[in-house]
Amino acid sequence: MLIQQLLNGISLGAVYAIIAVGFALVFNILKFSNFSHGGVLTVTAYAGFLISSKLNLGFVPTILLTAVAGGLIAMGIERVAFRRLRKKGSPIILYFVSSITMGMLLENLITVFFSSNFYSYPKFFEKSSFTIFGLNMAVTDALMLIISIVSLTILMVVIYKTRLGIAIRALSMDTNTTSLMGINVNAVIAATFFVVGCLGGIAGVFLGLNYTLYPQLGQLIVKGFIASVLGGLGNLFGAVLGAILLGVLEVTLTNIPFIGAGLSPVVIFVIMLIFLILRPQGIAGKIVHEKA
Amino acid sequence: MLKISNLSASYDHIDALHNVNIEVAEGSIVSIIGSNGAGKTTLLNTISGLVPAKEGAITYKGVPLEKIAHIIVQKGIVQVPEGRKIFAGLSVRENLILGGFHLGKHERRVKIEEMFKRFPRLKERESQQAGTMSGGEQQMLAICRGLMSNPKLILLDEPSLGLAPVLVSDVFKQIAEIRRMGITVLLVEQNARKALSMCDYAYVLENGRVILQGRGEELLCNEAISKAYLGESQGCKEDAGADDEGKL
Ligand SMILES: Nc1ncnc2c1ncn2[C@@H]1O[C@H](COP(=O)(O)OP(=O)(O)OP(=O)(O)O)[C@@H](O)[C@H]1O
Ligand SMILES: [Mg+2]
Protein backbone atom coordinates (compact mmCIF):
# COMPACT_ATOMS: atom_id res chain seq x y z
CA MET A 1 0.00 0.00 0.00
CA LEU A 2 2.74 2.38 0.99
CA ILE A 3 4.88 1.42 -1.98
CA GLN A 4 1.84 1.69 -4.22
CA GLN A 5 1.29 5.25 -3.01
CA LEU A 6 4.93 6.07 -3.49
CA LEU A 7 4.75 4.83 -7.06
CA ASN A 8 1.65 6.88 -7.78
CA GLY A 9 3.25 9.91 -6.18
CA ILE A 10 6.35 9.55 -8.27
CA SER A 11 4.32 9.25 -11.48
CA LEU A 12 2.47 12.41 -10.61
CA GLY A 13 5.75 14.05 -9.60
CA ALA A 14 7.21 13.16 -13.00
CA VAL A 15 4.60 15.36 -14.69
CA TYR A 16 5.23 18.16 -12.22
CA ALA A 17 8.95 17.78 -12.86
CA ILE A 18 8.53 18.48 -16.56
CA ILE A 19 6.55 21.61 -15.72
CA ALA A 20 8.91 22.73 -12.95
CA VAL A 21 12.04 22.33 -15.06
CA GLY A 22 10.57 24.48 -17.83
CA PHE A 23 9.74 27.07 -15.24
CA ALA A 24 13.22 26.87 -13.69
CA LEU A 25 15.03 27.22 -17.01
CA VAL A 26 13.44 30.58 -17.76
CA PHE A 27 14.02 31.73 -14.21
CA ASN A 28 17.64 30.79 -14.71
CA ILE A 29 18.31 32.99 -17.70
CA LEU A 30 15.87 35.88 -17.31
CA LYS A 31 15.38 35.80 -13.50
CA PHE A 32 11.62 35.99 -13.40
CA SER A 33 8.79 33.55 -12.73
CA ASN A 34 7.37 32.79 -16.13
CA PHE A 35 3.66 32.21 -15.66
CA SER A 36 3.04 32.38 -19.40
CA HIS A 37 4.18 28.77 -19.27
CA GLY A 38 0.69 27.97 -17.96
CA GLY A 39 -0.70 29.29 -21.24
CA VAL A 40 1.65 26.98 -23.13
CA LEU A 41 0.35 24.05 -21.07
CA THR A 42 -3.27 24.87 -21.91
CA VAL A 43 -2.68 25.46 -25.60
CA THR A 44 -0.56 22.35 -26.04
CA ALA A 45 -3.02 20.21 -24.13
CA TYR A 46 -5.62 21.21 -26.74
CA ALA A 47 -3.11 21.00 -29.58
CA GLY A 48 -2.28 17.44 -28.55
CA PHE A 49 -5.98 16.64 -28.48
CA LEU A 50 -6.45 18.00 -32.02
CA ILE A 51 -3.34 16.28 -33.30
CA SER A 52 -4.34 12.91 -31.90
CA SER A 53 -8.03 13.03 -32.78
CA LYS A 54 -7.92 14.81 -36.14
CA LEU A 55 -4.78 13.20 -37.48
CA ASN A 56 -5.53 9.92 -35.79
CA LEU A 57 -2.03 9.57 -34.43
CA GLY A 58 -0.79 7.32 -31.68
CA PHE A 59 0.57 8.35 -28.33
CA VAL A 60 4.25 8.86 -29.15
CA PRO A 61 3.80 10.82 -32.40
CA THR A 62 1.23 12.97 -30.62
CA ILE A 63 3.71 13.78 -27.85
CA LEU A 64 6.48 14.56 -30.33
CA LEU A 65 4.39 16.83 -32.55
CA THR A 66 2.89 18.59 -29.55
CA ALA A 67 6.35 19.15 -28.10
CA VAL A 68 7.43 20.88 -31.31
CA ALA A 69 4.23 22.93 -31.34
CA GLY A 70 4.88 23.95 -27.73
CA GLY A 71 8.42 24.96 -28.63
CA LEU A 72 7.21 27.21 -31.41
CA ILE A 73 4.52 28.76 -29.22
CA ALA A 74 7.00 29.53 -26.44
CA MET A 75 9.39 31.07 -28.96
CA GLY A 76 6.52 33.23 -30.19
CA ILE A 77 5.73 34.30 -26.63
CA GLU A 78 9.34 35.27 -26.04
CA ARG A 79 9.36 37.28 -29.23
CA VAL A 80 6.14 39.14 -28.47
CA ALA A 81 6.24 39.51 -24.72
CA PHE A 82 9.86 39.60 -23.58
CA ARG A 83 12.29 40.60 -26.30
CA ARG A 84 11.30 44.23 -26.40
CA LEU A 85 11.53 44.42 -22.60
CA ARG A 86 15.04 43.09 -22.82
CA LYS A 87 16.04 45.60 -25.45
CA LYS A 88 14.83 48.43 -23.26
CA GLY A 89 16.42 47.01 -20.13
CA SER A 90 13.05 47.01 -18.36
CA PRO A 91 12.78 46.06 -14.69
CA ILE A 92 12.02 42.44 -13.89
CA ILE A 93 8.53 43.22 -12.59
CA LEU A 94 7.44 44.06 -16.15
CA TYR A 95 8.52 40.63 -17.37
CA PHE A 96 6.44 39.14 -14.62
CA VAL A 97 3.38 41.19 -15.54
CA SER A 98 3.92 40.48 -19.22
CA SER A 99 4.16 36.74 -18.61
CA ILE A 100 0.97 36.64 -16.56
CA THR A 101 -0.81 38.63 -19.25
CA MET A 102 0.40 36.25 -21.93
CA GLY A 103 -0.80 33.28 -19.88
CA MET A 104 -4.26 34.78 -19.48
CA LEU A 105 -4.41 35.73 -23.13
CA LEU A 106 -3.71 32.17 -24.25
CA GLU A 107 -6.19 30.76 -21.76
CA ASN A 108 -8.89 33.10 -23.00
CA LEU A 109 -8.14 32.37 -26.64
CA ILE A 110 -8.74 28.72 -25.89
CA THR A 111 -12.00 29.59 -24.15
CA VAL A 112 -13.10 31.55 -27.22
CA PHE A 113 -12.31 28.80 -29.68
CA PHE A 114 -13.35 25.77 -27.67
CA SER A 115 -15.78 27.47 -25.25
CA SER A 116 -15.68 25.96 -21.83
CA ASN A 117 -16.71 22.50 -22.94
CA PHE A 118 -14.78 19.59 -21.61
CA TYR A 119 -13.01 17.39 -24.10
CA SER A 120 -10.99 14.30 -23.55
CA TYR A 121 -8.24 12.57 -25.41
CA PRO A 122 -9.00 9.47 -27.42
CA LYS A 123 -8.21 6.23 -25.68
CA PHE A 124 -4.67 5.44 -26.70
CA PHE A 125 -4.41 2.01 -25.14
CA GLU A 126 -6.49 -1.16 -24.97
CA LYS A 127 -5.71 -1.84 -21.36
CA SER A 128 -5.83 1.02 -18.93
CA SER A 129 -3.65 -0.54 -16.26
CA PHE A 130 -1.32 -3.43 -15.53
CA THR A 131 0.14 -5.17 -12.52
CA ILE A 132 3.80 -5.49 -11.87
CA PHE A 133 5.39 -6.96 -8.69
CA GLY A 134 1.96 -6.82 -7.13
CA LEU A 135 1.74 -3.09 -7.81
CA ASN A 136 -0.99 -1.66 -9.93
CA MET A 137 -0.05 0.95 -12.44
CA ALA A 138 -2.03 2.86 -15.03
CA VAL A 139 -0.55 2.54 -18.52
CA THR A 140 -0.57 6.31 -18.93
CA ASP A 141 1.21 6.72 -15.59
CA ALA A 142 3.91 4.31 -16.65
CA LEU A 143 4.34 6.10 -19.96
CA MET A 144 4.45 9.48 -18.30
CA LEU A 145 7.12 8.24 -15.96
CA ILE A 146 9.19 6.83 -18.80
CA ILE A 147 8.76 9.84 -21.06
CA SER A 148 9.57 12.23 -18.22
CA ILE A 149 12.75 10.36 -17.42
CA VAL A 150 13.76 10.27 -21.07
CA SER A 151 13.05 13.95 -21.69
CA LEU A 152 14.72 15.10 -18.47
CA THR A 153 17.77 13.05 -19.39
CA ILE A 154 17.89 14.61 -22.85
CA LEU A 155 17.48 18.03 -21.27
CA MET A 156 20.36 17.46 -18.85
CA VAL A 157 22.56 16.29 -21.72
CA VAL A 158 21.68 19.40 -23.70
CA ILE A 159 22.33 21.70 -20.75
CA TYR A 160 25.51 20.08 -19.47
CA LYS A 161 27.11 18.60 -22.55
CA THR A 162 26.37 20.72 -25.58
CA ARG A 163 27.62 24.08 -26.76
CA LEU A 164 24.08 25.48 -26.58
CA GLY A 165 23.91 24.30 -22.97
CA ILE A 166 27.16 26.04 -22.10
CA ALA A 167 25.81 29.23 -23.66
CA ILE A 168 22.56 28.91 -21.70
CA ARG A 169 24.45 28.47 -18.46
CA ALA A 170 26.77 31.38 -19.30
CA LEU A 171 23.73 33.52 -20.06
CA SER A 172 22.21 32.69 -16.69
CA MET A 173 25.37 34.08 -15.07
CA ASP A 174 26.09 37.20 -17.11
CA THR A 175 24.30 38.41 -20.22
CA ASN A 176 26.71 41.16 -21.26
CA THR A 177 29.80 39.03 -20.94
CA THR A 178 28.06 36.29 -22.89
CA SER A 179 27.55 38.68 -25.79
CA LEU A 180 31.23 39.69 -25.52
CA MET A 181 31.99 36.06 -26.39
CA GLY A 182 30.52 36.63 -29.82
CA ILE A 183 27.37 34.78 -28.84
CA ASN A 184 24.03 35.90 -30.22
CA VAL A 185 22.17 36.26 -26.95
CA ASN A 186 18.77 36.64 -28.63
CA ALA A 187 19.26 33.37 -30.47
CA VAL A 188 20.28 31.54 -27.30
CA ILE A 189 17.25 32.88 -25.45
CA ALA A 190 14.98 31.90 -28.35
CA ALA A 191 16.50 28.41 -28.33
CA THR A 192 15.97 28.17 -24.58
CA PHE A 193 12.32 29.09 -24.99
CA PHE A 194 12.01 26.44 -27.67
CA VAL A 195 13.35 23.84 -25.26
CA VAL A 196 11.08 25.13 -22.50
CA GLY A 197 8.11 25.04 -24.86
CA CYS A 198 8.89 21.44 -25.84
CA LEU A 199 8.80 20.49 -22.18
CA GLY A 200 5.54 22.43 -21.86
CA GLY A 201 4.08 20.51 -24.80
CA ILE A 202 4.94 17.17 -23.26
CA ALA A 203 3.46 18.29 -19.94
CA GLY A 204 0.39 19.61 -21.76
CA VAL A 205 -0.39 16.20 -23.23
CA PHE A 206 0.11 14.56 -19.85
CA LEU A 207 -2.23 17.01 -18.18
CA GLY A 208 -4.82 16.54 -20.91
CA LEU A 209 -4.66 12.78 -20.41
CA ASN A 210 -4.89 13.03 -16.65
CA TYR A 211 -7.57 15.65 -16.20
CA THR A 212 -9.59 16.01 -19.42
CA LEU A 213 -9.41 19.35 -21.19
CA TYR A 214 -10.62 22.68 -19.90
CA PRO A 215 -9.19 26.16 -20.55
CA GLN A 216 -7.92 26.64 -16.99
CA LEU A 217 -5.85 23.48 -17.17
CA GLY A 218 -2.70 25.57 -17.47
CA GLN A 219 -3.20 26.90 -13.98
CA LEU A 220 -1.55 23.69 -12.87
CA ILE A 221 1.59 25.71 -13.60
CA VAL A 222 1.25 26.54 -9.91
CA LYS A 223 2.38 22.98 -9.18
CA GLY A 224 5.49 23.54 -11.24
CA PHE A 225 6.02 26.82 -9.43
CA ILE A 226 5.70 25.19 -6.00
CA ALA A 227 8.02 22.40 -7.05
CA SER A 228 10.69 24.75 -8.32
CA VAL A 229 10.40 26.92 -5.22
CA LEU A 230 10.77 23.83 -3.05
CA GLY A 231 13.76 22.77 -5.11
CA GLY A 232 15.42 26.17 -5.11
CA LEU A 233 14.39 28.63 -7.83
CA GLY A 234 16.40 28.25 -10.99
CA ASN A 235 18.02 24.99 -9.96
CA LEU A 236 17.13 22.22 -12.43
CA PHE A 237 17.98 19.24 -10.24
CA GLY A 238 16.25 20.93 -7.34
CA ALA A 239 13.14 21.43 -9.46
CA VAL A 240 13.02 17.70 -10.25
CA LEU A 241 13.47 16.77 -6.58
CA GLY A 242 10.86 19.33 -5.52
CA ALA A 243 8.42 17.95 -8.08
CA ILE A 244 8.81 14.35 -6.94
CA LEU A 245 8.43 15.48 -3.34
CA LEU A 246 5.28 17.40 -4.25
CA GLY A 247 3.81 14.45 -6.15
CA VAL A 248 4.41 12.02 -3.32
CA LEU A 249 3.12 14.52 -0.77
CA GLU A 250 -0.09 15.10 -2.71
CA VAL A 251 -0.85 11.43 -3.18
CA THR A 252 -0.12 10.73 0.46
CA LEU A 253 -2.23 13.61 1.74
CA THR A 254 -5.13 12.72 -0.51
CA ASN A 255 -5.14 9.24 0.99
CA ILE A 256 -5.23 10.46 4.57
CA PRO A 257 -8.94 10.25 5.44
CA PHE A 258 -9.59 13.57 7.18
CA ILE A 259 -7.49 15.59 4.71
CA GLY A 260 -8.51 14.09 1.38
CA ALA A 261 -8.47 15.75 -2.00
CA GLY A 262 -10.29 18.82 -0.69
CA LEU A 263 -7.86 19.91 1.98
CA SER A 264 -4.63 18.65 0.50
CA PRO A 265 -3.82 21.84 -1.49
CA VAL A 266 -4.14 23.83 1.72
CA VAL A 267 -1.85 21.48 3.58
CA ILE A 268 0.63 21.60 0.69
CA PHE A 269 0.81 25.38 0.86
CA VAL A 270 1.27 25.29 4.62
CA ILE A 271 4.06 22.76 4.20
CA MET A 272 5.65 24.92 1.50
CA LEU A 273 5.56 27.98 3.75
CA ILE A 274 7.07 26.12 6.69
CA PHE A 275 9.70 24.67 4.41
CA LEU A 276 10.61 28.08 3.04
CA ILE A 277 10.91 29.55 6.53
CA LEU A 278 13.28 26.75 7.48
CA ARG A 279 15.20 26.66 4.22
CA PRO A 280 14.55 29.71 2.06
CA GLN A 281 17.01 28.64 -0.61
CA GLY A 282 15.05 25.45 -1.33
CA ILE A 283 16.32 21.89 -1.38
CA ALA A 284 19.28 22.44 -3.67
CA GLY A 285 19.50 26.16 -4.25
CA LYS A 286 21.76 28.95 -3.26
CA ILE A 287 19.78 32.02 -2.28
CA VAL A 288 18.59 33.82 -5.41
CA HIS A 289 16.37 36.83 -5.25
CA GLU A 290 13.83 37.56 -7.87
CA LYS A 291 14.61 41.14 -8.69
CA ALA A 292 10.98 42.20 -8.82
CA MET B 1 42.74 49.91 -38.15
CA LEU B 2 40.25 51.43 -35.72
CA LYS B 3 39.24 55.03 -35.93
CA ILE B 4 36.94 56.69 -33.45
CA SER B 5 35.72 60.14 -34.34
CA ASN B 6 33.72 62.62 -32.28
CA LEU B 7 32.32 59.85 -30.16
CA SER B 8 29.88 60.72 -27.39
CA ALA B 9 27.99 58.33 -25.15
CA SER B 10 25.83 58.64 -22.07
CA TYR B 11 23.93 56.61 -19.51
CA ASP B 12 20.44 58.00 -19.09
CA HIS B 13 21.41 61.49 -18.01
CA ILE B 14 25.06 61.04 -17.12
CA ASP B 15 27.37 61.96 -19.99
CA ALA B 16 30.25 59.54 -20.00
CA LEU B 17 32.11 60.39 -23.23
CA HIS B 18 32.35 63.71 -25.08
CA ASN B 19 33.71 64.10 -28.52
CA VAL B 20 36.39 61.46 -28.22
CA ASN B 21 38.84 60.98 -31.12
CA ILE B 22 41.10 57.98 -31.02
CA GLU B 23 43.03 56.08 -33.63
CA VAL B 24 44.58 52.65 -33.32
CA ALA B 25 47.11 51.67 -35.96
CA GLU B 26 47.35 48.06 -37.06
CA GLY B 27 49.97 46.10 -35.14
CA SER B 28 50.39 48.69 -32.41
CA ILE B 29 49.67 48.85 -28.72
CA VAL B 30 47.64 51.90 -27.84
CA SER B 31 46.85 52.61 -24.23
CA ILE B 32 44.21 54.68 -22.54
CA ILE B 33 44.94 55.95 -19.07
CA GLY B 34 42.81 58.01 -16.75
CA SER B 35 41.48 58.04 -13.22
CA ASN B 36 38.41 56.24 -11.89
CA GLY B 37 35.24 57.21 -13.65
CA ALA B 38 37.07 58.86 -16.55
CA GLY B 39 35.06 56.83 -19.07
CA LYS B 40 37.63 54.21 -20.10
CA THR B 41 35.33 51.22 -19.69
CA THR B 42 32.53 53.12 -21.36
CA LEU B 43 34.80 53.72 -24.34
CA LEU B 44 35.61 50.02 -24.69
CA ASN B 45 31.96 49.07 -24.23
CA THR B 46 30.94 51.50 -26.93
CA ILE B 47 33.42 49.87 -29.31
CA SER B 48 32.14 46.43 -28.29
CA GLY B 49 28.52 47.40 -28.89
CA LEU B 50 27.37 47.13 -25.27
CA VAL B 51 26.84 50.88 -24.87
CA PRO B 52 25.25 52.74 -27.81
CA ALA B 53 27.05 55.78 -29.16
CA LYS B 54 25.03 58.97 -28.95
CA GLU B 55 27.06 60.73 -31.59
CA GLY B 56 30.14 60.11 -33.65
CA ALA B 57 31.43 57.23 -35.69
CA ILE B 58 33.63 54.20 -35.31
CA THR B 59 35.26 52.77 -38.39
CA TYR B 60 37.12 49.50 -38.47
CA LYS B 61 39.38 48.72 -41.43
CA GLY B 62 37.88 51.66 -43.22
CA VAL B 63 34.23 50.70 -42.92
CA PRO B 64 31.70 51.67 -40.24
CA LEU B 65 31.76 49.16 -37.39
CA GLU B 66 28.64 47.09 -36.75
CA LYS B 67 26.69 47.95 -33.63
CA ILE B 68 25.74 44.46 -32.50
CA ALA B 69 27.97 42.97 -29.83
CA HIS B 70 28.29 39.41 -31.10
CA ILE B 71 28.88 40.49 -34.69
CA ILE B 72 31.65 42.83 -33.60
CA VAL B 73 33.43 39.85 -32.04
CA GLN B 74 32.96 37.83 -35.19
CA LYS B 75 34.51 40.73 -37.15
CA GLY B 76 37.64 40.37 -35.04
CA ILE B 77 37.31 42.82 -32.14
CA VAL B 78 37.21 41.12 -28.78
CA GLN B 79 37.07 42.62 -25.29
CA VAL B 80 38.59 41.18 -22.14
CA PRO B 81 36.37 43.01 -19.66
CA GLU B 82 37.30 44.78 -16.47
CA GLY B 83 37.27 42.46 -13.48
CA ARG B 84 37.88 39.48 -15.80
CA LYS B 85 34.21 38.40 -15.76
CA ILE B 86 35.06 34.78 -16.23
CA PHE B 87 32.09 32.45 -15.84
CA ALA B 88 32.81 31.31 -12.30
CA GLY B 89 30.41 28.38 -12.26
CA LEU B 90 31.66 26.93 -15.53
CA SER B 91 34.79 24.87 -16.01
CA VAL B 92 37.98 26.29 -17.47
CA ARG B 93 37.37 24.38 -20.66
CA GLU B 94 33.80 25.60 -20.94
CA ASN B 95 35.01 29.18 -20.55
CA LEU B 96 37.40 28.65 -23.45
CA ILE B 97 34.68 27.03 -25.56
CA LEU B 98 32.55 30.15 -25.02
CA GLY B 99 35.44 32.33 -26.14
CA GLY B 100 35.64 30.43 -29.42
CA PHE B 101 31.90 29.96 -29.74
CA HIS B 102 31.58 30.87 -33.40
CA LEU B 103 34.53 28.77 -34.55
CA GLY B 104 34.07 25.39 -36.15
CA LYS B 105 34.41 22.38 -33.88
CA HIS B 106 37.82 21.40 -35.16
CA GLU B 107 39.28 24.90 -35.11
CA ARG B 108 37.97 25.41 -31.59
CA ARG B 109 39.72 22.27 -30.43
CA VAL B 110 43.00 23.32 -32.00
CA LYS B 111 42.71 26.74 -30.39
CA ILE B 112 42.05 25.25 -26.96
CA GLU B 113 45.16 23.08 -27.27
CA GLU B 114 47.10 26.18 -28.27
CA MET B 115 45.93 27.97 -25.12
CA PHE B 116 46.83 24.97 -22.99
CA LYS B 117 50.30 24.96 -24.48
CA ARG B 118 50.63 28.63 -23.68
CA PHE B 119 49.39 28.17 -20.12
CA PRO B 120 49.88 24.63 -18.86
CA ARG B 121 48.23 25.78 -15.62
CA LEU B 122 44.93 26.00 -17.47
CA LYS B 123 45.29 22.48 -18.80
CA GLU B 124 45.85 21.15 -15.27
CA ARG B 125 42.64 22.87 -14.27
CA GLU B 126 40.70 22.07 -17.40
CA SER B 127 37.63 20.70 -15.67
CA GLN B 128 37.87 22.73 -12.50
CA GLN B 129 35.31 25.47 -11.87
CA ALA B 130 36.88 28.68 -13.10
CA GLY B 131 35.75 30.60 -10.02
CA THR B 132 37.95 28.48 -7.78
CA MET B 133 41.17 29.61 -9.46
CA SER B 134 43.45 32.35 -8.14
CA GLY B 135 43.17 35.91 -9.41
CA GLY B 136 46.23 35.56 -11.64
CA GLU B 137 45.00 32.31 -13.15
CA GLN B 138 41.60 33.86 -13.75
CA GLN B 139 43.21 36.76 -15.59
CA MET B 140 45.15 34.34 -17.80
CA LEU B 141 41.93 32.50 -18.49
CA ALA B 142 40.15 35.74 -19.35
CA ILE B 143 42.89 36.67 -21.82
CA CYS B 144 42.95 33.19 -23.36
CA ARG B 145 39.17 33.20 -23.61
CA GLY B 146 39.49 36.46 -25.54
CA LEU B 147 42.18 35.02 -27.81
CA MET B 148 40.02 32.00 -28.58
CA SER B 149 37.94 34.07 -30.99
CA ASN B 150 40.96 34.72 -33.25
CA PRO B 151 40.79 38.48 -32.80
CA LYS B 152 42.59 41.04 -34.91
CA LEU B 153 42.10 43.70 -32.26
CA ILE B 154 41.91 42.96 -28.54
CA LEU B 155 40.52 45.44 -26.02
CA LEU B 156 41.99 44.87 -22.56
CA ASP B 157 40.27 46.61 -19.66
CA GLU B 158 42.61 46.91 -16.69
CA PRO B 159 44.14 43.46 -17.00
CA SER B 160 46.51 44.07 -14.08
CA LEU B 161 43.75 45.09 -11.68
CA GLY B 162 44.08 43.49 -8.26
CA LEU B 163 47.11 41.37 -9.07
CA ALA B 164 50.33 41.03 -7.07
CA PRO B 165 53.36 42.81 -8.64
CA VAL B 166 54.91 39.60 -9.96
CA LEU B 167 51.69 38.72 -11.72
CA VAL B 168 51.36 42.24 -13.07
CA SER B 169 54.67 41.75 -14.89
CA ASP B 170 53.39 38.44 -16.22
CA VAL B 171 50.32 40.13 -17.61
CA PHE B 172 52.41 42.76 -19.36
CA LYS B 173 54.64 40.06 -20.80
CA GLN B 174 51.53 38.43 -22.20
CA ILE B 175 50.44 41.70 -23.75
CA ALA B 176 53.80 42.03 -25.50
CA GLU B 177 53.42 38.44 -26.65
CA ILE B 178 49.94 39.13 -28.01
CA ARG B 179 51.31 41.97 -30.08
CA ARG B 180 54.03 39.71 -31.38
CA MET B 181 51.30 37.36 -32.58
CA GLY B 182 50.19 40.21 -34.83
CA ILE B 183 47.18 41.20 -32.78
CA THR B 184 46.58 44.92 -32.29
CA VAL B 185 46.06 45.93 -28.66
CA LEU B 186 43.95 48.67 -27.13
CA LEU B 187 44.92 48.68 -23.47
CA VAL B 188 43.12 50.46 -20.65
CA GLU B 189 45.28 50.66 -17.54
CA GLN B 190 45.48 52.24 -14.11
CA ASN B 191 49.09 51.12 -13.98
CA ALA B 192 50.06 54.09 -16.10
CA ARG B 193 53.81 53.73 -15.83
CA LYS B 194 53.86 50.20 -17.16
CA ALA B 195 51.27 50.93 -19.81
CA LEU B 196 53.06 54.03 -21.09
CA SER B 197 56.43 52.36 -21.21
CA MET B 198 55.23 49.54 -23.42
CA CYS B 199 52.73 51.21 -25.70
CA ASP B 200 53.30 52.96 -29.00
CA TYR B 201 50.77 55.66 -28.45
CA ALA B 202 48.60 56.73 -25.54
CA TYR B 203 45.58 58.83 -24.72
CA VAL B 204 44.73 60.36 -21.37
CA LEU B 205 41.03 60.42 -20.65
CA GLU B 206 39.50 62.70 -18.01
CA ASN B 207 35.79 63.24 -17.41
CA GLY B 208 34.98 61.65 -20.70
CA ARG B 209 37.36 63.81 -22.71
CA VAL B 210 40.75 63.15 -24.23
CA ILE B 211 42.91 65.74 -22.48
CA LEU B 212 46.29 64.61 -23.72
CA GLN B 213 47.77 62.25 -26.24
CA GLY B 214 51.18 61.30 -27.50
CA ARG B 215 53.79 58.62 -27.84
CA GLY B 216 54.26 56.51 -24.73
CA GLU B 217 57.73 57.81 -23.83
CA GLU B 218 56.62 61.37 -24.40
CA LEU B 219 53.83 61.08 -21.91
CA LEU B 220 56.09 59.30 -19.43
CA CYS B 221 58.26 62.43 -19.40
CA ASN B 222 55.34 64.82 -19.32
CA GLU B 223 55.29 66.68 -16.03
CA ALA B 224 51.54 66.94 -15.67
CA ILE B 225 51.22 63.23 -16.27
CA SER B 226 53.93 62.40 -13.77
CA LYS B 227 52.13 64.41 -11.13
CA ALA B 228 48.70 63.01 -11.77
CA TYR B 229 49.28 59.38 -12.64
CA LEU B 230 52.82 58.29 -11.93
CA GLY B 231 53.61 59.82 -8.56
CA GLU B 232 55.88 62.79 -8.98
CA SER B 233 59.05 61.58 -7.31
CA GLN B 234 60.52 59.62 -10.19
CA GLY B 235 61.94 61.14 -13.32
CA CYS B 236 61.16 59.66 -16.67
CA LYS B 237 64.61 58.38 -17.54
CA GLU B 238 64.91 56.04 -14.55
CA ASP B 239 61.51 54.48 -15.05
CA ALA B 240 62.20 53.62 -18.60
CA GLY B 241 65.03 51.46 -17.26
CA ALA B 242 63.19 50.15 -14.22
CA ASP B 243 60.33 48.98 -16.32
CA ASP B 244 62.30 47.28 -18.99
CA GLU B 245 60.77 43.90 -18.37
CA GLY B 246 57.43 45.27 -19.48
CA LYS B 247 58.90 46.11 -22.83
CA LEU B 248 60.45 42.81 -23.70
N1 LIG C 1 25.89 51.31 -16.20
C2 LIG C 1 26.06 52.61 -15.86
N3 LIG C 1 24.97 53.37 -15.56
C4 LIG C 1 25.13 54.67 -15.23
N5 LIG C 1 26.30 55.29 -15.18
C6 LIG C 1 27.41 54.60 -15.46
C7 LIG C 1 27.35 53.22 -15.82
N8 LIG C 1 28.60 52.77 -16.04
C9 LIG C 1 29.40 53.83 -15.84
N10 LIG C 1 28.70 54.93 -15.49
C11 LIG C 1 29.24 56.27 -15.23
O12 LIG C 1 29.98 56.68 -16.35
C13 LIG C 1 31.18 57.32 -15.97
C14 LIG C 1 32.37 56.59 -16.61
O15 LIG C 1 32.47 55.29 -16.08
P16 LIG C 1 33.49 54.20 -16.59
O17 LIG C 1 33.15 52.92 -15.95
O18 LIG C 1 33.56 54.26 -18.06
O19 LIG C 1 34.86 54.77 -15.98
P20 LIG C 1 36.30 54.08 -15.94
O21 LIG C 1 37.22 55.08 -16.52
O22 LIG C 1 36.27 52.75 -16.57
O23 LIG C 1 36.55 53.97 -14.39
P24 LIG C 1 37.37 52.84 -13.57
O25 LIG C 1 38.80 53.19 -13.69
O26 LIG C 1 36.87 53.00 -12.18
O27 LIG C 1 37.04 51.52 -14.16
C28 LIG C 1 31.21 57.29 -14.46
O29 LIG C 1 30.78 58.53 -14.00
C30 LIG C 1 30.24 56.22 -14.08
O31 LIG C 1 29.61 56.52 -12.87
MG1 LIG D 1 36.66 50.88 -15.97
Candidate from B69, B79, B90 with C-beta closest to A170: B90
Is the distance from CB of A29 to CB of A172 less than 8 angstroms?
yes
pLDDT, one tens digit per residue, over B125-152 is 999 999 999 999 999 999 999 999 999 9
Please report the pLDDT score of residue A280 as a whole number.
79
Query: What is the reported pLDDT for B232?
Result: 56
B154-164 pLDDT per residue, tens:
999 999 998 99
pLDDT value at residue A269: 87
CA distance A170 to chain B (A): 6
Going by pLDDT thresholds of 50, 70 and 90, the confidence category of residue B243 is: very low
- 3-state DSSP percent of chain B in helix, strand and coil, to 5: 45, 25, 30
So what's the ipTM on this one?
0.90
- Taking the CB of residue A73, how many other CB atoms lie within 10 A of it? 23
Residue B57 pLDDT greater than 80, yes or no? yes
Pocket test for ligand 1, best of B42, B188, B207 (most atoms within 8 A of CB): B42
What distance in Å separates the CA atoms of residue A153 and residue A155, rounded to the nearest whole number? 5
Residue B226 has pLDDT above 80, yes or no: no
Q: Is the pLDDT of residue B236 over 70?
A: no
Type of residue at A106: L
Containing A44, the helix (H) or strand (E) segment is helix A36-54
Low-confidence ranges of chain A (pLDDT < 70): 285-292
Ligand 1 close to Cβ of residue B39 (< 6 A): yes
**Closest by Cα among B218, B216, B200, B214 to B27:** B200
CB contact under 8 A, B98 and A166: yes
**Cβ(B14) to ligand 1 under 6 A?**
yes
- SS3 assignment for B132-170: HCCHHHHHHHHHHHHHCCCCCEEEEECCCCCCCHHHHHH
Helices A36-54 and A59-77 cross at an angle (nearest 10°) of 140
Q: Which of B125, B54, B57 is nearest to B96 (CA)?
A: B125
Q: What is the mean pLDDT of residues B34-55?
A: 95
Chain A residues interacting with chain B (CB cutoff of 8 angstroms): 163, 166-167, 169-170, 173-174, 176-185
Q: Give chain A's end-to-end CA distance (angstroms, integer).
A: 44
Q: What is the mean pLDDT of residues B71-83?
A: 97
More confident residue, B101 or A273: B101
Task: Tell me the angle at which helices A59-77 and A185-211 cross, rounded to the nearest 10 degrees.
Answer: 130
* A115-137 pLDDT, tens digit each: 877 788 888 887 888 888 888 88
* Per-residue pLDDT, B231: 66
Flag the least confident range among A65-69, B197-201, B236-240. Answer: B236-240
How much is the pLDDT for A285? 63
CA distance B226 to B174: 26
Whether residue A282 contacts residue A233, with contact meaning beta carbons closer than 8 Å, is answered with: yes
Q: Is B81 in the pocket of ligand 1 (CB under 6 A)?
A: no
Residue B237 has pLDDT above 80, yes or no: no
Shortest distance, CA B207 to any CA of chain A (angstroms): 24
Nearest CA in chain A to B51: A176
